[in-house]
Structure 1
């Protein structure tokens, strides 16, 4: 979005893309934490907070990228806060800035799961959204672990052709699940959850951290994805190795499309 400047030229009105953390619970219910990074406050804010700000103008939906952003009447557009750099659109080389903040590069729509979500449901989410991993978060949306495709495959391999099961017993006053002859009992599979298979140590970075810090940390820890958190520790995005490569390619002048939106 542009407006005419004082000398007839065009002035860019900054857009700040809304990030959505989709948190899936063990009952299948999904809650969405929508935030936007405010370059003036240098922190994340909820969309409701943003709408109450005197600089707020409108919400803008981009049909091409299928993203919603906040149109803000700030005095100056912060680097990366507005729409895509016109030089990058034209395919012109731009300097590679290792201090570029993660808020500009990360994937803004991230799927998260609670620790109680069953392994089969996690597998379905990985397949449906074509992703290789996701953060495991607590009730407040703070990361407590990471679960990856490798974790799911490892758990399936350990189970083999047979699943661990536990004996079903009825409490006093309850009806027996099945009427069976003496000496028989009922077994049911043990429910495996995200808590059982996740990596409990979370390597994470604040949204104001730079791509330089993220790339170094990912290489040092040998991880392919990092949860990106706000001041209060809640997940506001995720950075993958592909996000880093996509950013680098664009800085080198290549026309690389954004990551595909998953239905």
Structure 2
């Protein structure tokens, strides 16, 4: 009887603790989203529902340019990082334990290192090689810190893939490239997709590294929000931040549920073959 009461109290306490954490994490974001629909510029008074801040947001050429830069950089860096990261993961998977551990440690540095250190290091490297800071330096920087995320997403899938199926495809007359895309690629695709979406999210959200490597005359949404907030908080910034949060949330949901959807599809296909 006492054990049952203790377990019930433990569950109630656990649920309360989880709810408290979620409130601390998401209550400020919820307030920001609500304020983005407030017709009053006051943060303490509700003036009625309005879409004017979103209209103002999309009619601003400065914000639209920053949005275009952000999306292009995020897409290009994610695609390139996915290609390089997948190739690196395949190479690492076939290595011996010692060199593999050393290279894994080296590729993990951009993730473990403080963003400000990475940003300053990349900035100094570009300046040392005489490369002017701008769009291309931001793109290279985003590719650099995105590659490890792709590697870590693809490697677990590669470990589950049987090498014998690839060798069997070669024995049956397929070339190395055709055998890879016919046998290996479908198995590791969920990992590549997860790595791509994670890289896209990280690129979309990055501020510190972008701030140090962007130079003058180019802005992304994160750097634009920072510069605008320093001048004074505008309601259109609430609208912009709300959209960014929604996009990142959708991408994270896709990242988490894509592997499960793939498993369900694969199981359904196997049952259909039976």
**TM-score normalised by length of structure 1:** 0.22
Higher relative contact order (CA 8 A, sep 6+): 2
Q: Larger % of helix: which?
A: 2
Q: Larger % of strand: which?
A: 1
